[in-house]
Chains A and B, each alone.
Chain A
Amino acid sequence: KQEVTQIPAALSVPEGENLVLNCSFTDSAIYNLQWFRQDPGKGLTSLLLIQSSQREQTSGRLNASLDKSSGRSTLYIAASQPGDSATYLCAVGSGTYKYIFGTGTRLKVLA
């Protein structure tokens, strides 16, 4: 059974710092992996989708990488800003039209 872990559960960094969020999964037979952002009391906003054949995807200050063999994905945020404060979730597409979600990393960027 696929399990998805995000460590740490919470992270505080000063504004301007580059940071890396981690997502680990137990079964490397995945179709894709998606990173989301969730603001308090809101829905999930899609940030990046990486297909299993890809190694990374970039959007603005965000870069997500995927290493299936080691069961890891990282989300790199460059030059963090207070507006980046949110919970970041990863979800692994394990086939049969389903995603398995991690429990998220709560990020706080201090001004």
Chain B
Amino acid sequence: NAGVTQTPKFQVLKTGQSMTLQCAQDMNHNSMYWYRQDPGMGLRLIYYSASEGTTDKGEVPNGYNVSRLNKREFSLRLESAAPSQTSVYFCASSIRTSGNSGEQYFGPGTRLTVT
């Protein structure tokens, strides 16, 4: 049982390049999330998927797209990377009950630098 896994662990991009961050969970959770963590700002929600087949914008969705490929996998795509997207990206998952997010489990993070 690996929990939540993320690839890659580190990435350096040049401005304008694109990339996809991968996330997978093996806990049969229905809800999945993408956050970014910046110094002094805490974690901010980028996108979430309440269940397979649905995705919704979070607090800071601009410049990102997501795909809920199946129940296990939720990917985050940067179409044209900008230096402002330099951050640590975390994927999380949880069991959804009665419209509320349950206990969240986090992956180890992807450290992205855009030059």
Contacts and interface: CB of A to CB of B under 8 A. Distances in A.
A34 B33 CA distance: 15
B74 interface: no
Interface in B25-46: 31, 35, 40-45
A45 B109 CA distance: 12
Contacts of B44: 101
Contacts of A75: none
A49 B103 contact: yes
A46 B100 contact: no
B104 interface: yes
Nearest to B105: A46
Interface string B77-115: 000000000000010100010011111111111000000
Given A95-B99, A97-B50, A98-B58, A89 B43 contact: yes
Report whether over half of chain B's contact residues are helix, strand or loop; otherwise say mixed.
Answer: strand
A97 B107 contact: no
Contacts of A101: 35, 42-44
Contacts of A4: 42
A49 to B, nearest CB: 5
A46 B104 contact: yes
18 contacts: A31-B101, A34-B103, A42-B108, A42-B109, A44-B92, A44-B106, A45-B106, A49-B102, A89-B42, A91-B43, A95-B99, A97-B96, A97-B99, A97-B100, A98-B101, A99-B45, A99-B104, A103-B41
B42 A95 contact: no
A43 B101 contact: no
Nearest to A52: B100
3 tightest CB-CB pairs across the interface, nearest first? Answer: A31-B100, A44-B106, A103-B42
